[in-house]
Amino acid sequence: MQKTLKKLHCQNRKKFALMTAFCIGMNTAGMAVPRVHAADAGEKTYIIMTEGSQSAYDVLEDEVANIDEDAIVQDNVAVVELTKKEADKLEKLDEVLYVEEDILLDGSDYEEEGDVFLDQSCVDVEDQWNLDAVNANEQQYDQADGTIKVAVLDTGVDVSEDIDIAGRINLVPGEEEVSPMFEDVSGHGTAVASVIAAKENDIGVTGINPNVELYSVKALDDAKQGPLSRIIEGLHWCMENDIDIINMSFGTPVHSEIFQQVISDAYAQGILLIAAAGNRGNTSGDNIEFPAAFPEVIAVGATDTQGELSEMSSAGTELELLAPGERIPAIGFLDYIVCTEGTSMSAPHVTGAA
């Protein structure tokens, strides 16, 4: 396996050099655009949640200028540009549950010590220690009765001969025409997907469970960031498409009532929700990020190669499971083998096993 990894590494260094300039240009052309309209001075983006039986569009059409169907994330959730005065007015309506500013969430990988994308130290690891750690190296987990549909809610998953994708959707505005071959310039979602389900074929890395039916739901951009409104849109897509397990390798320290309600809706539908705990260290008490900190979500922290809690992993009372999170070999952009770290990579170990 070690020789195969090194061979693939050399091949992909050439591919990477040839493609970098093209992909940087493509990424700039596909930058995100506002959902409804450009904010005027003093306006911010807000998420509005109405009572469950109330259509957000019906409630807001007479209250918000320029609202259209594109503003509706799900039946009772809308995203609009408002002034603080307009937001306060909406919050007083009986039909409105919550009005919150649209916050930003970040991918939970760990890059303090350098660019993970260029770190090749994991390629020289004999076998994959992380598979041994979860007892998946000698024999892959069998698939349960029926098809298990797993969604990677992330930065997208590039087309790869080593990862089968059953379906995909790109929710990032301006990327409607981006080819799935270059959907994930950051490599984050592709790495997560490879930890879950990369094929056992002696090429590259092997995932925890290649038998799952994997779906790519791109809600984070190539900077590994995405607004909560887009995360909610992705969760709603998963609920509509009968996904069984959702992997969420991202987080925020900011609590949101709207976010918790949507998570609760997905949980009530029977979806297993697994999320990265965050990389805020474990010396300062409780610091688990959301959505992992929500009670409906399994919060996954990271271990080092010795099976001990990693120094970079968040910790706290909401932490439920630990999984490998340091020196994890994974597939990145253009099938490039990368050495990844962070609770971003811990969560998909649990997802694959689940």
CB 325 within 8 A of CB 278: no
Q: Which two tokens stand for residue 3?
A: 């020789």
3-state SS assignment for residue 229: helix
CB-neighbour burial class of residue 43 (10 A; exposed 0-12, middle 13-18, buried 19+): middle
Catalytically active residues are 154, 188, 344
What separation in angstroms does the CA of 35 have from each of 105, 113, 174, 298? 17, 35, 10, 31
- CA–CA distance, 46 with 25 (Å, rounded to integer): 31
List the beta strands (DSSP E) in the chain: 43-50, 72-74, 77-83, 96-101, 104-107, 149-154, 167-170, 213-218, 225-227, 245-248, 250-251, 272-276, 297-303, 321-324, 328-331, 337-340
Alpha carbons within 13 A on the beta-carbon side of 19: 15
Q: Using DSSP bridges, classify how beta strands 245-248 and 250-251 pair: parallel, antiparallel or unpaired.
A: unpaired
- CA–CA distance, 113 with 33 (Å, rounded to integer): 32
- CA–CA distance, 116 with 5 (Å, rounded to integer): 17
Please tell me whether the peptide bond between 291 and the residue prior to it is cis, using omega within 30 degrees of 0. Answer: yes
